[in-house]
Amino acid sequence: MRKTFIIITSWLPVILWMMLIFFLSAQSAVESSALSTKVTELILGLINRVVPAFSSSMTDYAYLNRVIRKLAHFLLYLVLGLLTTRALRKNGITGMKPLVLAVIICALYAVTDELHQMFVPGRSSQISDVILDTVGGLAGATLYHTRQGDKRYPS
C-alpha cells in the first residue's frame, strides 16, 4: 500500500506537467501567439513600472516576445526535469541514474512534443526547440540532484 502511494504521489506531478506541456503544444499558432502576446505585454507592463523611461519599440517587442517563447520552453522542461528526477529518487533509484534517466525522459518527451506540433494548425517542429527543452530538463535534473545530494528518499 505504501509503495503504491509513493509511486502515485511521485509520478502524478510528472504526468500532470506533461499534460500541461501537451495542452500548450496542442494550441494552434493563433492561440499560442495570443498567449505569448499576453505574457509579453504583462512583462513589458512590469518593466515600464520599474523603469518608466523604458521604451518599447516594435523591434523590442518582437525580440522580447521571442525571448519569452524560448524561455517558456526552457522553464517548462526545467520543471519537468525537477519533477522527473524527484519521482525517480522517491522510487529508490540512487546515484547519477535519476539525473541521467530524467534527462533521457525529457529529451524523448521533447521529441514527441515537437512531432505533435507538426500536426497542429500553424505550428511547426524545430530541432532547436528539442535542444532547448533538453537543456532545460538537464538544468532541472541537475538542480534537484545537487540540492538533494545522495539521499535515498528526498523530502
Q: Is the backbone of residue 102 left (phi > 0), alpha (psi -120 to 50) or beta?
A: alpha
For residue 40, the surrounding DSSP H or E stretch is: helix 29-50
pLDDT at 152 over 70: no
DSSP 118: T
Stronger pLDDT, 154 or 108, i.e. the higher one: 108
Of residues 104, 97, 102, the one with CA closest to residue 150: 97
The confidence band for 131, taking pLDDT boundaries of 50, 70 and 90, is: very high
- Written as nine digits, the cell of 93 is 533509484
Q: What is the pTM of this model?
A: 0.88
pLDDT tens digit string along 34-52? 999 899 888 888 887 887 7
CA 124-125-128 angle, 5° bins: 125
Q: Compare 60 and 27 and report the one with higher pLDDT.
A: 27
Do 72 and 38 form a contact (C-beta atoms < 8 A)? no
